[in-house]
Amino acid sequence: MTDTDEARVAVYIDFDNIVISHYDHEHGRNAFSRDRARETDADGEPSAAMAERLDAATIDVGAIIDFASSYGTIVLTRAYADWSAPVNSRYQRQLVGRAVDLVQLFPAAAYAKNGADIRLAVDAVEDMFRLPDLTHVVIVAGDSDYVPLAQRCKRLGRYVVGVGVAGSTSRSLGAACDELITYGALPGLTAGPDEPDEPEPDEPEPAPERRPTAAADGPETGGRRGGGAGSAPTTAAEGQSAAVPTGTEDEDDTAPEPDAALSRRGASRLLERALRLAHEKSDEEWLHSSVVKTQMKRMDPSFNEKALGYGSFSEFVKSRNSVAELDESDQTRRIRLRPGR
């Protein structure tokens, strides 16, 4: 049964708008149009030089969705674009990884206008009547064409959040929204969004203590972390491939995992981004641990500290002392992002 008191969020992304705007922000005004005209082949594939510039201006889809989740539970996420275009198809891993509903819009004219604004607006208004429990609408685009949509959403009682690119977002859209944030100001934005599930290694952290299981599980398989509890490595070389009952963070992350599993480094990054989002929403220096854990679950429902080898969420946070500080001075556990992080 759905909790009717919980905020419920719908996210609508004009993908062409945000990708092209960010490209122009990184490489200069109208750079995308110029580069596409002179640096693509007959099939529309980007040249090596343009591909390098596209990589430098890659959008972190996860940062956008995580920001939207800070308002409540995301009930739908739609992205509108011509997904047959190479500039958009390169985002397949990011979009599929975040369960984004992709709406295909083929260009209706030679100048490649795909009508995303009209289709997005129609869907958003329909969703507000079809899903009356929606409380927040996040519009990811900076075009002034979305001003009427933002105004209509507000009249229908929704809290409207706009996400655009600095220098390409209409002032009138900002005035029509309840809140507007630029893409570059999103909390937890990373420099390398192409691999959202495999962040850069953290600094070494103390490994949590784990109790041996009652029976050994045998050799480690692709989907198992921790392996046989009774088979500790005898040498450093063997330790790289053997099952490790009390292994380090780095050793544990090299093992293959099932697609739905969250790696230890991925959990560290998830904690850091959740803390940044929570601090952004609150003026409190210390955050209640339940608030942080709820935000982490919204961002990645697969997060489970016990599956990572920790008896409690507090133990998990303690093991990430390079990322977060835990205050256990009273019964209320409180957490904050480590200063200088």
Architecture of domain 247-337: 2-Layer Sandwich (3.30)
Q: Is the pLDDT of residue 14 over 60?
A: yes
| DSSP one-letter code for 185 | G
- Work out the mean pLDDT of the chain and round it to a whole number: 79
Residue 25, pLDDT > 50, answer yes
Position 236 scores a pLDDT of 40
Predicted local distance difference test score (pLDDT) of residue 255:
40
User: Could you tell me where in the chain the CATH 3.40.50.1010 domains are found?
Assistant: 8-185
At residue 226, the pLDDT reads 42
> What pLDDT was estimated at residue 182?
92
User: pLDDT band for position 126 (50/70/90)?
Assistant: very high
- Tell me what the mean pLDDT of segment 170-184 comes to: 92
Q: Any bridge partners for residue 77, and if so which?
A: 11
Work out the burial of residue 339: count CB atoms within 10 Å of its CB; fewer than 13 is exposed, 13-18 middle, 19 or more buried: exposed
Going by C-alpha positions, the residue among 270, 265, 255 that lies closest to residue 303 is: 270
CA distances, 13 to each of 60, 78, 95, 103 (Å) = 13, 6, 11, 10
pLDDT of 72-108, one tens digit each?
999 999 999 999 888 999 998 899 989 999 999 987 6
Statement: 8-185 belongs to CATH 3.40.50.1010: yes
Report which residue type is found at 234.
T
Strand partners, 103: 80
Residue span(s) of the chain under CATH 3.30.420 come to 247-337
